[in-house]
Amino acid sequence: MKQISFLILFTLVLVSCGTDNHHFEIEGRLTNLNQGEFYVYSPDGGLSGIDTIKVEGGRFSYEMPCENECVLVVVFPNFSEQAIFAKPGKSVDVKGDASHLKELEVTGTDDNELMTKFRHQISNASPPEISKYASMFIGDHPESPVGAFIVSQYILKSQQPDYKKAMKLLGILHNQQPRNGYVNHLIAQVKTISDAESGNSIANFTAYDINGKAVSSSTLKSSPIALIYTWASWSFESTDMQRRLKDMNDKAAGKLQIVGICLDASKADCKRNISQNQINWPIICDEQMFESSLVKKLGLLAVPDNILMQNGRIVARGLSVNDLTQRLGKMI
């Protein structure tokens, strides 16, 4: 009986000491945000689909099963993203001001503290400086899983993505982390983009828009001018682009085929936006944000992003809103 009591007491002590070896936990507190909700997803498969984290009284807590190291991406109410690096049996603390999310402090593991240090380093840096710091980080820490997120967020999703540089940095990471699924996934994505450079066709696909109608690559390839683009109701730049595309489509007199891919986590938000703006072309929204299989297949990495085609061949991709509208104006 004494032995059983001791075992029960020992188990309770272990549980009270923190997260067990099969879970990972996030504890956080933010000023200037009393209540709200965050999205969280995992680009390397550590979490299935998209989950939510509730904020009450400025505090939040999140625990997940965790058998292997993985990357979590927390999407805040302003839709900025913060990577958190999960390890079995570990927990991290998140502290900061909701009005200054770039200054968040994430402590508890070496990788999260490295990420925090890097974000502070680039907080006031120009795009060329950020690219330089990214290269320096990977050169100094090729063994860290933080490097893959830095390549994704600051090289591939930048205003002017540098795919050659991204592939070079990913190669350095792959040499040190050959089994890192996120690194391998990004390498495959960059190769997809390289295969879909100007003059080539887009990858074959069939998807369904928010009204259940089929959308296929064959329809786009048979159109004189076609455009695939990403947008989200929380991105002003992309919704502005969508409104300008509506004007271009009205002038095109049927020569332009458009398909939008909405990266909202909620179809309701997507439907509300397209109803308000009277968008009448196919909009695909699978509620998976950047984890959408179609987004990955087409190598679309940002909001907004785009692929422009003429007679079934890619003529440009990743154009700015102004460049896109000017290019379409000339083609139409």
Q: What is the pLDDT of residue 8?
A: 45
Confidence of residue 301 (pLDDT cuts 50, 70, 90): confident
206-208 and 214-216 strand pairing: antiparallel
To the nearest whole percent, how much of the chain has pLDDT over 70? 93
Q: What are 257's strand-pairing partners?
A: 226
E strand or H helix that includes residue 7:
helix 2-16
The two structure tokens encoding residue 242: 């969508």
CA distance 111 to 194: 30
Asked if residue 2 has pLDDT above 50, the reply is no
Asked if residue 270 has pLDDT above 80, the reply is yes
pLDDT tens sequence across 131-155: 999 999 999 999 999 999 999 989 9
Give the chain's mean pLDDT: 88
Q: What are 316's strand-pairing partners?
A: 308
The two structure tokens encoding residue 131: 């690219």
Residue 55 near residue 79 (C-beta atoms within 8 A): no
Q: What is the pLDDT of residue 6?
A: 46
3-state secondary structure of 50: strand
- DSSP annotation of 222 reads T
Angstrom CA distances, 304 to 160, 236, 285, stand at: 12, 9, 14
Query: With 0-12 CB in 10 A as exposed, 13-18 as middle and 19+ as buried, what is 65?
Result: exposed
Angstrom CA distances, 69 to 125, 145, 147, stand at: 30, 9, 14
- DSSP annotation of 201 reads P
Mean pLDDT of all residues in 46-71: 91
Ranges in the chain annotated CATH 2.60.40.1120 = 1-106
The two structure tokens encoding residue 134: 């990214």
pLDDT tens sequence across 276-291: 989 999 999 999 888 8
- Of the candidates 276, 273, 282, the one whose C-alpha atom is nearest the C-alpha of residue 249 is 282
Asked if residue 9 has pLDDT above 90, the reply is no
Q: What is the pLDDT of residue 199?
A: 65
pLDDT tens sequence across 246-259: 988 888 878 899 99
Asked if residue 302 has pLDDT above 60, the reply is yes
Of residues 138 and 12, which shows the higher confidence score? 138
Q: At what angle do helices 236-252 and 321-331 cross, to 10 degrees?
A: 10
- Of the candidates 74, 81, 76, 75, the one whose C-alpha atom is nearest the C-alpha of residue 24 is 74
Q: What is the pLDDT of residue 252?
A: 81
The two structure tokens encoding residue 277: 């703006």
Asked if residue 262 has pLDDT above 80, the reply is yes
Q: Which CATH superfamily is domain 206-331 in?
A: Glutaredoxin (3.40.30.10)
Confidence of residue 299 (pLDDT cuts 50, 70, 90): confident
pLDDT tens sequence across 59-95: 999 999 999 999 999 988 777 888 999 999 999 999 9
Residue 250 near residue 277 (C-beta atoms within 8 A): no
Mean pLDDT of all residues in 222-227: 93
Query: With 0-12 CB in 10 A as exposed, 13-18 as middle and 19+ as buried, what is 201?
Result: middle
Q: Which CATH superfamily is domain 1-106 in?
A: Carboxypeptidase-like, regulatory domain (2.60.40.1120)
Model-level pTM? 0.72
Q: What is the pLDDT of residue 14?
A: 45
Q: Which among 19-28, 168-177, 202-211, 286-295 has the top mean pLDDT? A: 168-177
CA distance 67 to 259: 39
CA angle (236 as vertex; 235, 241 as ends), nearest 5: 100
Question: 43: how many CB neighbours lie within 10 A of its CB?
Answer: 21
Confidence of residue 196 (pLDDT cuts 50, 70, 90): low
Residue 93 near residue 27 (C-beta atoms within 8 A): yes
